Structure 1
């Protein structure tokens, strides 16, 4: 074979490899954009359902895949993009509708200054659907006046008082405790536990007292949505509030504007101003507004160590990515070992 022929063969082979790699990349991007995606859990807010170090698979087809919003971005590099051109958040048809207790994966609505699809990714439990009425009273969640059926993995903060002895690593490992700690050298601790775990604590020989920690009405309201004059919610007393739904006709006043202003402005693209007792939307005085999309109320399973709808408001459909369907694998960063029992765990 001549030298020229060898060069030609090498060139042809490189072209074929280039085509194969290009098609493979396109296929990967299509799968990632429209079908499935995986991400790493980096917080304790959903313990004991999701653990820090879980690598979670997101099913984007369940509710309909959202098409890309940021047009000019480098695939597989989420921070490499320009936001000069942003498309509206359009969605393909889905196979099912969102149900209560689904684990929703979404872009964080409380993050401002970024395109929708470049905001932080979060997973929370859906507890209320569009049109539902939600109430939290003395930590008890109810939807449409019916008690909410909480999964066994939901945790609350408890105060433990020992006989004066300090709790050791064996105790912490047995209850899989990753946050909280000693409050007083007298043997007083605050830890998150499920209700079933809290019952078991009564059988521990060195535990003298266990109680669930609660906020009182009107306490710590400055951290909870909507922060303002007319609503005094806290994490344990919230509502009642109806979750907004597409096509809902609102009769606005200064009180409920405090609740809905964020979604009217930031999620539905309007300007809102108030002069005295008059409300202006896009420069026109009005007392009426029609909701343009569905919203949801989501909560963390680690209820007292949360960053959920109680703190930043309603989840707009435009920010929804998909459903958390499975843990692919899990690595315990504290104990430096794999959690084999969580590999391919269904959610």
Structure 2
């Protein structure tokens, strides 16, 4: 037994010393392994790429996403380049191979996704993507321009679940909730949803004297003025601003009301219909401001399949839960068996951007399956804009940015 443990142990003269390059290689390998474990099971860095969450989250906010909040998702595509999401830096091309796929599994976490959490998730419609324009929806593109035009212009590939693009939105509906948007106002289970002070939307200002926001308020609160001219000749003015700014304008003399600007149905304005989910203009004549009602699927819950709702749940049954689905002579067949109902095997969520009129969210591509959830937005560690670093946002929890 060696008692003088504080004394330096004599080096074995016969032991061969590692060359410097080997020491550096060992250190680099250890760093990559440690970083991969942290990224997979604890936290992951994410950057806000668009304005869909303004003003809660701003473009060029750098934040950490907690994997332990909902439980870390085990890799589903295990053969991949470490620390790279889906595309090789510099050279391009896939950073993974989908030849090996593992089933969805999630380790225990601190809790479940809660209503109004800010969540990072894999974009559901990104199972098929345009390599040159991965952030946009392939399915919307082929509806607008046609499949042949899209395939001629872009390189089209498929992606496994955990290699789809990452999105960030606010969860406004959890499994079993009823979601509806009426006149631009969100309702959850027939009650008006929470409106956050920094949540942006377009508003109409009603005034007998033609009151408009003063220029100093426009500059201070970053109010954007949008003019809409419809094909039938009507003109509408909408002001894009935060909810708390709308409250200030309501108190101005001469203002009778400040109400959410409503995108009216095409029949009333001559507008081109929006490509809202599930793109069923016969049974679901909806748009971003008048949407639903929709029931969010819950694991173990069953739904009766009808002509009115089959377009809403078809993708869930066929794509997310991997069943063969057919419709013949007005009857539905799941895995070659006639079915009048379906029982869901996963939980689903409804996510929307805080910038309601500048967000492609569940209103356009539907439900987010539980196996697509990456983690909970935790805190901002760096933020910068046109005027440099936004010092007041540094090391702020996402919850405090909503106040």
Query: Which TM bucket (shorter chain)?
Result: 0.7 to 0.9
Corresponding residue SS for 1:33: helix
Corresponding residue SS for 1:158: strand
Q: 1:27 aligns with which of 30, 34, 43?
A: 34
Corresponding residue SS for 1:61: coil
1:175 pairs with 2:221 = yes
2:179 alignment counterpart:
134
2:346 alignment counterpart:
293
After TM superposition, the score normalised by the length of structure 2 is 0.75
Q: 2:198 aligns with which of 153, 157, 162?
A: 153
The 5 Å alignment of 1:1-347 reads 9=17, 11=19, 13-78=20-85, 79=87, 80-112=95-127, 113-159=158-204, 173-177=219-223, 181=226, 190-201=238-249, 212-217=260-265, 221-228=273-280, 229-332=282-385, 335-347=386-398
Question: Which structure is higher in strand share?
Answer: 1
Shift of 1:292: 0.7
Shift in alpha-carbon separation, 1:316–1:96, aligned structure 2, 3 A: same
Contact persistence 2:196–2:243 (CA under 8 A): no
Shift of 1:166: 11
After TM superposition, the score normalised by the length of structure 1 is 0.86
Shift of 1:202: 6.2
Shift in alpha-carbon separation, 1:28–1:311, aligned structure 2, 3 A: same
Shift in alpha-carbon separation, 1:20–1:298, aligned structure 2, 3 A: same
Shift of 1:9: 3.6
Unaligned 5+ runs, structure 1? none
Contact persistence 2:173–2:350 (CA under 8 A): yes
Give CA-to-partner distance per residue, 1:101-147, whole Å, 9 cap, x none: 11111000021221111111111111111111222222222222222
Alpha-carbon distance between aligned partners in 2 of 1:271 and 1:221, rounded to the nearest angstrom: 31
Give CA-to-partner distance per residue, 1:14-53, whole Å, 9 cap, x none: 4333323222211100000111001110100000110001
Shift of 1:198: 2.1
Aligned residues between the structures? 333
2:90 alignment counterpart:
none
Shift in alpha-carbon separation, 1:166–1:300, aligned structure 2, 3 A: closer
Give CA-to-partner distance per residue, 1:179-200, whole Å, 9 cap, x none: 665669xxx9644212321243
Alpha-carbon distance between aligned partners in 2 of 1:203 and 1:152, rounded to the nearest angstrom: 16
2:6 alignment counterpart:
none
* C-alpha RMSD of matched pairs (Å): 3.0
Alpha-carbon distance between aligned partners in 1 of 2:288 and 2:350, rounded to the nearest angstrom: 13
Shift in alpha-carbon separation, 1:252–1:193, aligned structure 2, 3 A: same
Alpha-carbon distance between aligned partners in 1 of 2:100 and 2:121, rounded to the nearest angstrom: 21
Contact persistence 1:159–1:189 (CA under 8 A): yes
Contact persistence 1:163–1:208 (CA under 8 A): no
Corresponding residue SS for 1:266: helix
Contact persistence 2:44–2:65 (CA under 8 A): yes
Alpha-carbon distance between aligned partners in 1 of 2:323 and 2:168, rounded to the nearest angstrom: 28
